[in-house]
Amino acid sequence: MSTEPLDRAQRYYDDFSADYEKERHEGYHALIDDLEVGILRPYVVGRRVLEVGCGTGLILSRIAPWAESAVGIDLSPGMLSHARRRGLDVHHGSATELPFEDASFDTVCSFKVLAHVEPIELALREAARVVRPGGHVVIELYNRWSLRYFARQISGARRIGRSHDEDDISTRWDSPPEAIRRLPATLEVVRVAGVRVVTPLASVHRVPRLGALFAMAERACVDSPLRWFGGFLVLVLRRRGCQEKSAPL
């Protein structure tokens, strides 16, 4: 397989790394992280966890205190330098070739990453390979059935870093059925959650009272019937080989 897509992605995220956290600690971005950490928490407490595409370690640093062990991997040395300054156990590598033995983890998670991985099926097989039977894979994908998708079509690509924009990296928008069809046979769906369901534009969260109302609505929508329209579709998957019953969708 050509290394050009990986090299291009590494350059993109290295450029992005200096400004990645600029707006991530408040408002819209903080809400998205809070909702996703809330979805993830039951699957990390007391467990061996791997985050694929850990970036600067924002999510990994929050879940690490709950986990038995927490490891991150990322393609970007620039992003990893920030994560290491947080004291996190992180490694350089690709989602499509994880440098870990089979069944090394109880939970594998990935946010803001897989929508940008072109060989997505390979990345999903790798996540399934390194999680133990009965363990969980928690992934976020970008949802074509969402207000976020339509807002992106209207607004176009944003500037990213010093020398890139969003069109400089591949981005895939799946419908929920398409996302589920991509899963390897070794993974079964146990939960579907929706994040950013009703927010039309991130900027509404900068308006104090309006932002509070949208934040309340977003929290209510995570597991509601409207979850299928979340801009970020979060799938909780279980590695087959366990006798537990699947939760209803």
Instruction: Tell me the three-class secondary structure of 73-122, residue by residue.
Output: EECCHHHHHHHHHCCCEEEECECCECCCCCCCEEEEEECCCHHHCCCHHH
Tokens of 207: 């308006």
User: Assign residue 235 a region: left if phi > 0, alpha if psi is -120 to 50, beta otherwise?
Assistant: beta
Place of tokens 């440098």: 99
pLDDT value for 220: 98
List, in order, residues 6 or more apart from 134 with CB less than 8 Å away. Answer: 238, 239, 241, 242, 244
pLDDT band at 14 (very low <50, low <70, confident <90, very high): low
| Rg of the chain in Å (alpha carbons) | 17
User: What crossing angle do the helices spanning 27-40 and 208-221 adopt, rounded to 10°?
Assistant: 20
59-63, 81-85, 146-150, 240-244: lowest mean pLDDT where? Answer: 240-244
Query: What size, in residues, is the chain?
Result: 249
pLDDT value for 1: 45
pLDDT value for 248: 39
**pTM for this entry:** 0.89
Is 3's pLDDT higher than 70?
Answer: no
Is 244's pLDDT higher than 50?
Answer: no
Query: At residue 89, what are phi and psi to the nearest 5 degrees?
Result: -85, 95
153-203 pLDDT, tens digit per residue, is 887 655 555 554 455 578 899 999 999 999 999 999 999 999 999 999 999
Structural domain 4-239, CATH architecture:
3-Layer(aba) Sandwich (3.40)
pLDDT value for 97: 95
> Is the CB of residue 36 less than 8 Å from the CB of residue 140?
yes
Place of tokens 């989602």: 95
51-60, 74-83, 231-240: lowest mean pLDDT where? Answer: 74-83
Over residues 114-129, the mean pLDDT reads 95
Residue 165 β-bridge partners: 159
- Tell me the three state secondary structure of residue 161: coil
> Is the CB of residue 40 less than 8 Å from the CB of residue 138?
yes
Distance from the Cα of residue 184 to its chain's centroid: 18
> Is the CB of residue 239 less than 8 Å from the CB of residue 133?
yes
pLDDT value for 26: 86
> Is the CB of residue 227 less than 8 Å from the CB of residue 193?
yes
Percentage of the chain surpassing pLDDT 70?
A: 83
1-5, 36-40, 106-110, 202-206: lowest mean pLDDT where? Answer: 1-5
